[in-house]
Amino acid sequence: MSLETLVQDPSIPAESTSGASAPYDFADFDTSVMTTYGRFPIALERGEGCRVWDTEGREYLDFVAGIATCTLGHAHPALVETVTQQIKKLHHVSNLYYIPEQGKLAKWIIDHSCAERVFFCNSGAEANEGAIKLARKYAHKVLEIDYPVIVTAKASFHGRTLATITATGQPKYQKDFNPLMPGFHYVPYNDLRAVENAIADLDEGNQRVAAIMLEALQGEGGVRPGELEYFQQLRKICDDNNILLILDEVQVGMGRTGKYWGYENLGIEPDIFTSAKGLAGGIPIGAMMCKKFCDVFQAGDHASTFGGNPFACAAALTVGETLERENILQNVQERGEQLRASLSAIASKYPQIISEVRGWGLINGMELKSDIELTSADIVKAVMAKGLLLVPAGPKVLRFVPPLIVSAQEVDQATQAVESAIAELTS
Ligand SMILES: *Cc1c(COP(=O)(O)O)cnc(C)c1O
């Protein structure tokens, strides 16, 4: 059955039709917007909490959350209030002037992490670009390396700009965009020996490894958590060899793992880390954090027109304060455990289909067996017809990244939809 027939099946009840506008003309969209996405044939127009509604009034339980972005779900009263007040007051001014909201947000991040300095931008890729530039300048000015190399992991994801697709250790994102950026080298994730070998092999003439950039948990690459032992050893290796440890926390930062930052799950502190997706709950923002010692940027070295404007910073500050006030990290831990327990129960019922359930807090993956035809996209389509939005993390991994305010009942509803979809697809 095609996705079109699945989502248009009249036997699927449209639970709420209030506020629904006319059916959306997908062809109209496709003739004017670049084809950079494979899109599902639904158009979302309204949301509340963990639920969204399409233009035909059909309700979906949203376990995608804009891909790990809508931290507080949709239309959260605190976020609505903040952005409404802020846009009336002042929404954008240049970084040529002091922006109090930016200062407050930086302070909040510093108070809730190992960071000592913050730079604001607008997206994950841009935050990682900032980290790459900072590491290179640090290498030139402090480490006196003429040709600094940044080591990244295979199956990683760091963004879509030229430097960040180069940092991304997946050829599918790099194909057709040559020449790529020089100065990157890839190693397998969670493999200490490979990093040690790379550091030794790349130490040649005026070339040296200046930084290692990794995700604390690989999101896009299949929801693969970093291993404690690996990261602790890696921290030591970086210290012993004057190498900066950069963590890309764009997907896992800001509470997603049940702790504010992904590295807290690994018992280490990075020298530089980045955040974006969930930081302002869906208002575009990016941030690059570092320790004082590696902040070598001077006025004019790096900039962003929109970065750190009052609107985005006020939103992010509200997300942070709401996480604290409503004790949401505890919900992330409890709902995460509930979700993994339910998915594991499904996995033990279908051992011929599912190979593993893994994750931290509310970023979880369910991996399908590699020797079967069924893909994560097949299940995503099947659950969508049951009113659940999920997103793959590669061809064999289903990713579960609901808003952090998700309820126990909503987790149950989601796992029941997954189980019934798998039952149907395998019958
Ligand atoms: C999404 C993501 C990025 C890219 O973020 P954009 O805001 O799309 O540029 C970078 N790194 C990781 C780990 C991500 O998940």
Q: How far is the CA of 290 from the centre of ligand 1 (A)?
A: 18
Secondary structure (3-state) at 239: helix
Q: Pocket of ligand 1, candidates 69, 132, 158: which has the most ligand atoms within 8 Å of its Cβ, to mutate?
A: 158
Question: From the alpha carbon of 161, which atom of ligand 1 is closest?
Answer: 9
CATH code of the domain containing 208: 3.40.640.10
What's the CA-to-centroid distance between 15 and ligand 1, angstroms?
33
Same domain membership, residue 151 and residue 7: no
User: What CATH number has the domain bearing residue 370?
Assistant: 3.90.1150.10
In the listed set 268, 294, 325, which residue is the last one of a domain according to the structure?
325
From 279, 301, 325, the end of a domain falls on 325
Query: What CA–CA distance (Å, rounded) separates 360 from 251?
Result: 12
Ligand 1 contact, 246 CB (< 6 A): no
| Model confidence, pTM | 0.95
pLDDT reported for residue 14:
45
Count of structural domains, the chain: 2
pLDDT for residue 115:
98
Identify whether residues 68 and 160 lie together within a single domain: no
Smallest CA separation from ligand 1 atom 5, residue = 124
Q: Whose C-alpha lies nearest to ligand 1, atom 6? A: 124
146 Cβ contact list (under 8 Å, min separation 6): 140, 206, 207
Same domain membership, residue 192 and residue 257: yes
410 and 284 within one domain? no
- Give the range of the structural domain holding residue 90, as residue numbers without chain letter: 77-325
- Chain centre to alpha carbon of residue 174: 20
Among residues 127, 362, 133, 389, the alpha carbon closest in space to that of 254 is found at 362
Using alpha carbons, list the distances in angstroms from residue 310 to 81, 127, 282, 283, 317: 14, 18, 15, 12, 10
Query: Tens-digit pLDDT profile for the chain (427 aa)?
Result: 344 444 444 444 444 445 677 789 999 999 999 999 999 999 999 999 999 999 999 999 999 999 999 999 999 999 999 999 999 999 999 999 999 999 999 999 999 999 999 999 999 999 999 999 999 999 999 999 999 999 999 999 999 999 999 999 999 999 999 999 999 999 999 999 999 999 999 999 999 999 999 999 999 999 999 999 999 999 999 999 999 999 999 999 999 999 999 999 999 999 999 999 999 999 999 999 999 999 999 999 999 999 999 999 999 999 999 999 999 999 999 999 999 999 999 999 999 999 999 999 999 999 999 999 999 999 999 999 999 999 999 999 999 999 999 999 999 999 999 999 999 999 8
Helix%, strand%, coil% for the chain, nearest 5 = 40, 20, 40
For the CA of 68, the nearest atom of ligand 1: 15
For the Cβ of 123 lying below 6 angstroms from any atom of ligand 1, the answer is: yes
Give the separation between CA 131 and CA 120, rounded to whole angstroms.
11
Q: Which atom of ligand 1 is nearest to the CA of 218?
A: 13
By DSSP bridging, strand 117-121 and strand 184-187 are: unpaired
Phi-psi region at 46: left, alpha or beta (left = phi > 0; alpha = psi -120 to 50) = beta
Element (H, E) at 414: helix 408-426
- The verdict on 229 and 361 lying in the same domain is no
Residue 71 shares a structural domain with residue 155? no
- Active-site residues, by number, are 157, 248, 277
Judgement on whether residues 65 and 112 belong to the same structural domain of the protein: no
- Residue 285 to residue 280: CA distance in whole angstroms: 6
Q: How far is the CA of 286 from the centre of ligand 1 (A)?
A: 10
**Do 41 and 93 have their domain in common?**
no
Crossing angle of helices 376-384/408-426, nearest 10°?
Answer: 120
Contacts by 165-172 with C-beta closer than 8 Å and gap 24+?
Answer: 167/128, 167/132, 167/213, 170/221
Work out which ligand 1 atom sits closest to the CA atom of 284: 7
In this structure, the answer to whether residues 15 and 143 fall within a common structural domain is no
**Does residue 125 have its Cβ closer than 6 Å to ligand 1?**
yes
User: Do 152 and 93 lie in a common domain?
Assistant: yes
Ligand 1 centroid, distance to 338 Cα (angstroms) = 27
Q: 157 C-alpha to center of ligand 1: Å?
A: 7
Q: Which of 278, 310, 325 is the last residue of a domain?
A: 325
Same domain, 224 and 307: yes
Q: Do 19 and 81 share a domain, yes or no?
A: no
